[in-house]
Structure 1
């Protein structure tokens, strides 16, 4: 009989938790968005006796400084009902003593190979790569050593053709299956010298929509796997090529569906820090306020005076990058949004780029641009969008705009009504949506605009500015209209 290790695995528990098995502590975890596991082998009872696992949770929500997303104890407007406790899948696994802890899969499209690292305590793994059910490559991979596996006749991954290669890794008696896509992301000039986002070495426009990932019956937790698929598939059917996952880390199933369905992802990191000041996070929506986020003065302004809290954010950021590194569809990392807990954004962007040089970085989405990262990232809600006169060589993106509001009776969460421009019927909303893109967005593309993020996928609590209602039962605009608009968002 092979010696085994037993571990309960938690997808995410918000925010701090302590796990005991049969009254003995198995471990603790701090942070509400990343997975963790404990070895409980030595705590289990022999002979088939029942075992008791208890999870104790504490959650300060927005009264603490850890990453909290858009949760607030006093919810309202753009801040939502707080989530607490277990909100992602929990399961137990039994693995051999010698087993695969995780895989790192890095496609190198220019070199027609994939780099595989098998993380384990030792041994040499056998790796097989399949395409369309046929084995196309094999290799031996010593634990902890990156091994490049050449591939013939490489088939690229794109939103239009989201082809995935399957990977099987065998280490002793352990077998792990995964997948990867052959694609590359970057920035570079188009034929006219304009900085653009690149997919597989070619300019590619990211036509995106803001995706909060909130649900009326489960808050952070979707009602089913089919519900996750519905949101992604509906946005793709409407002609969007990208989802900006806003201030939340989803279960890995969501990213898997983006990978296989073919939708690019911009991944926000989860904001934390002290209380946010209106002059920092709200005033820039109306006034051209751009403040320095570095040094003692900048840290105090942005609610980041606590050095330990800043380091905790960096820990969670590093954990997020490592956790999602293998996701095929993630094209852009977004460390900060609209000054929420922002600090040293240019330096943080450099750290992200060092952690993952295969993707681009939007260092400060919205306002308080520090000149860092790969993108100049604008939010425009209360004024006309115009391409800035002064350019600095970064790629220009409109990372939030629109937010047009329409209440659909019988499908609203409450009587509150928040949005950036209010309409009273679908016809007027549709006309305004089409005019916005025809007059402001489409003409900006030849002048450098390279990505857009419309606000938003669905209503969320008070916010009634979704393309879908909160219950996802009604699409507020004709699908043909939205598809027609999105067809024009191309390079």
Structure 2
């Protein structure tokens, strides 16, 4: 997805951070939440076995309350901790009980204790982490047992030698610079806005202990071959000496065959597909001296993916040797209360069920690696997955390429066994693109069992305008992939490659009372609820025409709203479906005829959501405006009226209601009052500005220092700088600077930003270089890597 490159003012940050320590656990306030939040408690936080491809019976879940502390980056382990945090929900999330930011100059510490389990001769105790973002150093009883870098990948340490009898302490030190570091960070940024979101720091997947043999299985490598009726299986162990490995495949409880010479024969294989997601069971045992010392339960699906020609000679994506249109949607995996972490396993599976109930057969998992159980549910429910590599830091600072390639290697290995994953996606829209041919060839050589989308959106069109050319687009990839917003396009034809539209859509439709940000509804285009179905249907009809010409797949942006992006088919809280499920299946049936089969919905259970209210927003707003005229000044009414005015397109009414709402508030202000004032106040001329200026400390405690500054910058720009800029073709920058600096640091920052952007857009390079250097030197850390790179490149070119 692509946002406008240069914004004159910052958008308001999406996430309110507290700075007051929480000594005991409680879920923190958020504007909206999903139905599953009520099922989360300190005793049942994600208690399912976290690794479905290697299930063992003897394990201990360490999810639950840990102690936490935030320290300076160079500080030692703290003696006193700040409070309790619910693992595995990230620090910034409401479910963590903390909801604080972690800055690049800080460390996050965790600690908890556990009782040493009994260990027999030849047994070891392993400490396993699903994922910790970004760098984790792990200590047991004060001894460092290991260190891991990479926020999306599982890791384990043998902690046996650090144990003592009785109680033992685990401590974890986390460093996470988010977009200010060299590592992969996806859509997480310290200053979230439009298509970038709230960070996830620290432990965000399950932590568990496991008693294993010294000869235990480390991992399985499972690769189906339907053409030869074989399952290729590699079993890797800690120590193979004097051991024998047995593996047996089962079909519905009945033995199929045993493992011999690296494979299992699967005669008359029951093939896996979205319409029939059949899974075989697999049991692997390690024996020593005739005794089983390790046993893991696993599963597999028999399926094949590739590129081949259809009966017309067109190159198509082929599933199980037949053309299969990949009708997909762009799923980003964010949650209001948990951010990267779903509140429950039921919630995790719901997203896939809902997408399948919409009639899609493909998910593009966008710039994120999910927990193992997400892929298990995709396998079990039947959903093709295009899996993105998590992009490098877009500015490609020193060290970022090495970090990216380490991450790609881990991702390919960690996700290899899931039949749902059919397609790897290397790059997205030139975000940190480099060495594309070499990396494309490397991935194809590493995993020849899947197809590779070497660059999704290498050619990107917004409103039919190409953003930038690519002379060697899609080099060595298995497909050509165009992004086109809002309307879909046909990608270019290259011999031997399938053609796909890797992103399109992004239709913004906001639903009152179901918004993360009530004052913002970002989308590539805006529609009212009643108009969405027609617009979406026309887009799908164009895809049908493209499919006749050779299009093999398409990815709609997106299934769910995410924070300030309100362009999902469902709201962020998963409560409202903007086009009814049955209608979406009907629309999609032309490209995915499997939705007409009774089996399509058979294993989804009850996928429930409210249908959107299609009443013309202007009519509903008119009723509210009439109530306002009659004297209704209830605060909740005024807040909703401001939102409805925005949807109805009545900007003066939105300002009227928002200002009236702020005027109705009583002192002292609650946290919710402060958050609402921060969202409704747009200008220095609004009544909320004086409240924020006069009680800055209170606002900073609730929304955080940086968000407070960004809000003030936006208001100063709107109320003071913008009128002065618009008054003349040649702005008086000296007068503008004097006015801006009366507002202190926030005024100076927005002045330098406004001048930098204005000179850049005007291409006044003689004045730009000095101003942009000043801006980047003082405030560069506050902007996205993409903007930093753009500004710096212009400086380098014209200095």
State the TM-score, normalized to the length of structure 1. 0.90
Aligned-residue offset at 1:27: 0.8
Say which of 267, 278, 298 aligns to 1:152. 267
Counterpart position of 2:315 = 195
Is residue 359 of structure 1 aligned with residue 461 of structure 2? no
Give distance in 2, aligned partners of 1:229 and 1:309. 33
Aligned-residue offset at 1:309: 2.3
Counterpart position of 2:180 = 63
Counterpart position of 2:544 = 442
Is residue 315 of structure 1 aligned with residue 418 of structure 2? no
Give distance in 1, aligned partners of 2:267 and 2:533. 47
Distance 1:373 1:157, change over 3 A: same
Counterpart position of 1:164 = 279
Counterpart position of 2:355 = 235
Give distance in 1, aligned partners of 2:126 and 2:402. 29
Say which of 160, 169, 176 aligns to 1:41. 160
Counterpart position of 1:100 = 217
Give distance in 2, aligned partners of 1:38 and 1:356. 27
The SS at the match of 2:427 is: coil
Counterpart position of 2:562 = 460
Counterpart position of 2:522 = 418
- Structure with higher strand content: 1
The SS at the match of 1:37 is: strand
The SS at the match of 1:339 is: coil
Aligned-residue offset at 1:229: 1.1
What RMSD, in angstroms, separates the aligned Cα atoms of the two structures? Answer: 1.4
Give distance in 2, aligned partners of 1:18 and 1:58. 9
Say which of 223, 230, 251 aligns to 1:113. 230
Q: For structure 1, which runs of at least 5 residues remain unmatched after alignment?
A: 141-145, 277-302
Give distance in 2, aligned partners of 1:350 and 1:391. 17
- Are the counterparts in 1 of residues 392 and 432 from structure 2 also a CA contact under 8 Å? yes
Aligned-residue offset at 1:435: 1.4
Distance 1:344 1:9, change over 3 A: same
State the TM-score, normalized to the length of structure 2. 0.56
Instruction: Return 131-140 or 204-213, whichever deviates more.
Output: 131-140
Give distance in 2, aligned partners of 1:106 and 1:386. 34
Counterpart position of 1:143 = none
Is residue 481 of structure 1 aligned with residue 583 of structure 2? yes
Counterpart position of 1:299 = none
Distance 1:390 1:269, change over 3 A: closer
1:221-260 aligned within 5 A: 221-260=341-380
Say which of 430, 441, 444 aligns to 2:533. 430
Aligned-residue offset at 1:151: 1.6
Give distance in 2, aligned partners of 1:163 and 1:390. 34
- Compare CA radii of gyration and give the structure with the larger one: 2
Say which of 480, 485, 496 aligns to 1:381. 485
- Structure with higher helix content: 2
The SS at the match of 2:126 is: strand
Deviant stretches of 4+, over 4 Å: none
- Are the counterparts in 1 of residues 480 and 493 from structure 2 also a CA contact under 8 Å? no
Give distance in 2, aligned partners of 1:389 and 1:99. 49
The SS at the match of 2:396 is: coil
Give distance in 2, aligned partners of 1:361 and 1:84. 30
Aligned-residue offset at 1:351: 0.6
Aligned-residue offset at 1:388: 5.1
Counterpart position of 1:291 = none
Give distance in 2, aligned partners of 1:241 and 1:346. 29
- Are the counterparts in 1 of residues 488 and 539 from structure 2 also a CA contact under 8 Å? no
- Are the counterparts in 1 of residues 359 and 592 from structure 2 also a CA contact under 8 Å? no
Give distance in 2, aligned partners of 1:390 and 1:67. 32
Counterpart position of 1:6 = 125
**After superposition, what is the alpha-carbon deviation per residue over 1:108-152, rounded to whole angstroms, capped at 9, x for unaligned?**
100001111110121220111100110111135xxxxx6121122
The SS at the match of 1:38 is: strand
**After superposition, what is the alpha-carbon deviation per residue over 1:315-336, rounded to whole angstroms, capped at 9, x for unaligned?**
1101100000001100100011
